[in-house]
Structure 1
Amino acid sequence: MQLQVGKAVPGAEHYDGMVDCFRKIIAKEGAGRLYRGLVPPLMLEAPKRAVKFAANDFWGKTFKQTFGVDKMTQSLSILTGCSAGATESVVVVPFELVKIRLQDKNSTYKGPMDVVAQIVKKDGPLGLYAGLEPTFWRHVMWNGGYFGCIFQVRALLPKAETKSAQLFNDFVSGAVGGFVGTAFNTPFDVVKSRVQNSVKVAGQVPKYNWTFPSLLLIAREEGVGALYSGFLPKVLRLAPGGGVLLLVVEFTLGIFRKQLGPPYI
């Protein structure tokens, strides 16, 4: 949905929403096509999440020392999340690039390694970092919204008296953070997808190149609503996913702290 450019044209295939997109892909290409580009996200997910929370912890400690405060504040949690997102984006770009190239309905690549081989052959190893700038903004916005909301929602929820109540609070906080982060970052995600799916032609400047000019271009040509293409499937994945992510991280850290003892408790 994020890759279809322009408004619907009579006779041309166009996805009118998530359900319509599902239906047309299955009817035309089979259910297996829904899993096109599965390998890069599978390979990325564990290191991506590890970097996200490790970077958030690192930047949180760094900023508290820098500003001379003992406890996290709302503004610091947002700054920390944005910094963690910037760190995470460097790890994400090559995997996202391969995934987007595979998921394009016009893709002729044989698989992930074929994408890598063709990009490196044509543009060199740095070609795998096409779309770094919009990916940077996408992750800065999502993580800033995510970790900023976690801090605020936790403060608003009733204090957890039991372990199950604490896990519930973690899930709710993460889910709200996932929703808000997705609302913030979807326009940047649309631009990232367009940039990474643009094939470089010698002597020509790509239509979608830098983030903010591309945001204005899409809004002008297709309307502001086009910047939220794919929002529903994204939020259905990332809102509950953000809740599960935080719940699992906090649960796992609790086990390690208990096993390792001081000074990790």
Structure 2
Amino acid sequence: MVACLVTHPLDLAKVRLQTAAKPGQSLISMVYHIISQEGPLKLYSGLTASLLRQGTYSTARFGVYEFLKESYVEKTGKSPNTTVLLPMSMLAGALGGFVGNPSDVVNIRMQNDSSLPLEMRRNYRNAVDGIIRISKEEGVKSLFRGLVPNLFRGVLMTASQVVTYDFAKEILVDFCSLDPSKKSTHFSASLLAGLVATTICSPADVVKTRIMNAGSNKGGAVSILMSAVRNEGVAFMFRGWLPSFIRLGPHTIVTFLALEQLRKYRVGMF
């Protein structure tokens, strides 16, 4: 959630680029457009939903991943290698994607609302209001729109992000003689993790965003995906890669720096 506060404007620009009717805008032009047309405060549109998403999705995936690692060490007496960490992270990512799906739907809609015509805007007051209105107006099932690509993205994100971080940190300590307790080590490992995660997750992220932003009358996931491929080509799945990395890089760095400090002082740990 700390990382979310830092990178929310970049996440907003990424969502706008992914849902734009016409490709071609850059991150800078999108941010400028939002500020000039809607005002600086609109860079934090949907912040409550974004915080709720991190409080559900990220809490679940990081918590399950750390729990599984600790359980493995307790049972075997040794640290898990990459072949063990991968299935752990995939399970954690899937559970996180499921838990966080409702808040993710609201998050994407709130971030993209100001770019819609006035008659199509949803005008959710906050994340809770959004969840309640979606449940009433479209049915509870709509809170799980895009669940399959979101689960897929959760698996890819967690596997590429946390496993890459653990692996990179181990390499930096063992082969580059860096201090595992230093913030510079955490920074380097998390930067690499952000780069890998952005590249691997981009297709699932774009597809998920399109499906969640669509109304309940726009068809299912397959029809939305096929329509996008016909109209824009397969390359649409990598739209917004640069803003995704510019957002996910700092987000990953702040997340792991905060996580390491929480771990150091055993905040929330027993």
Structure 1 length-normalised TM? 0.80
Deviation at 1:195, TM superposition (A): 0.7
Distance 1:209 1:154, change over 3 A: same
Aligned match of 2:131 in 105, 116, 131? Answer: 116
| Matched letter for residue 222 of structure 1 | E
Q: Give CA deviations for 1:165-207 in whole Å, capped at 9, x if unaligned.
A: xx32122112211221111111111111111112123xxx71x
Aligned match of 1:191 in 166, 190, 207? Answer: 207
Corresponding position: 1:241 with 2:251: yes
Q: Is the 8 A contact 1:63 1:80 kept in 2?
A: no
Q: Give CA deviations for 1:22-78 in whole Å, capped at 9, x if unaligned.
A: 122222222222221111112332444332221112333566799x78332122222
Deviation at 1:216, TM superposition (A): 5.9
Aligned match of 2:78 in 50, 70, 73? Answer: 70
1:250 maps to which residue?
A: 260
Q: Give CA deviations for 1:80-106 in whole Å, capped at 9, x if unaligned.
A: 222211111122111111111122211
Q: Give CA deviations for 1:207-238 in whole Å, capped at 9, x if unaligned.
A: x514xx76565344313331122222221121
Identity %: 23
Structure 2 length-normalised TM? 0.78
Aligned match of 2:156 in 123, 128, 141? Answer: 141
1:91 maps to which residue?
A: 99
Specify the SS of the correspondent of 2:89. helix
Deviation at 1:132, TM superposition (A): 1.3
Equivalent-residue separation in structure 2 for 1:219 and 1:159 (angstroms): 47
| Matched letter for residue 76 of structure 1 | V
Unpaired stretches in structure 2, ≥5 consecutive residues: 1-16
2:191 maps to which residue?
A: 175
Q: Which has more helix, going by share of residues?
A: 2
Equivalent-residue separation in structure 2 for 1:97 and 1:62 (angstroms): 33
- RMSD of equivalent CA atoms: 2.9
Distance 1:216 1:75, change over 3 A: farther
| Matched letter for residue 59 of structure 1 | L
Equivalent-residue separation in structure 1 for 2:179 and 2:192 (angstroms): 21
1:3 maps to which residue?
A: 19
Distance 1:147 1:16, change over 3 A: same
Specify the SS of the correspondent of 2:31. helix
Distance 1:233 1:147, change over 3 A: same
Specify the SS of the correspondent of 1:256. coil
Aligned match of 2:44 in 35, 41, 62? Answer: 35
Moved more, 215-224 or 240-249: 215-224
Equivalent-residue separation in structure 2 for 1:77 and 1:189 (angstroms): 23
Corresponding position: 1:209 with 2:224: no
Q: Is the 8 A contact 1:97 1:130 kept in 2?
A: yes
| Larger relative contact order, structure 1 or 2 (CA cutoff 8 Å, min sep 6) | 2
Equivalent-residue separation in structure 1 for 2:161 and 2:130 (angstroms): 31
Q: Is the 8 A contact 1:77 1:151 kept in 2?
A: no
1:45 maps to which residue?
A: 54
Distance 1:101 1:110, change over 3 A: same
Equivalent-residue separation in structure 2 for 1:162 and 1:175 (angstroms): 15
Distance 1:116 1:23, change over 3 A: same
Equivalent-residue separation in structure 2 for 1:162 and 1:97 (angstroms): 38
Equivalent-residue separation in structure 2 for 1:29 and 1:162 (angstroms): 44
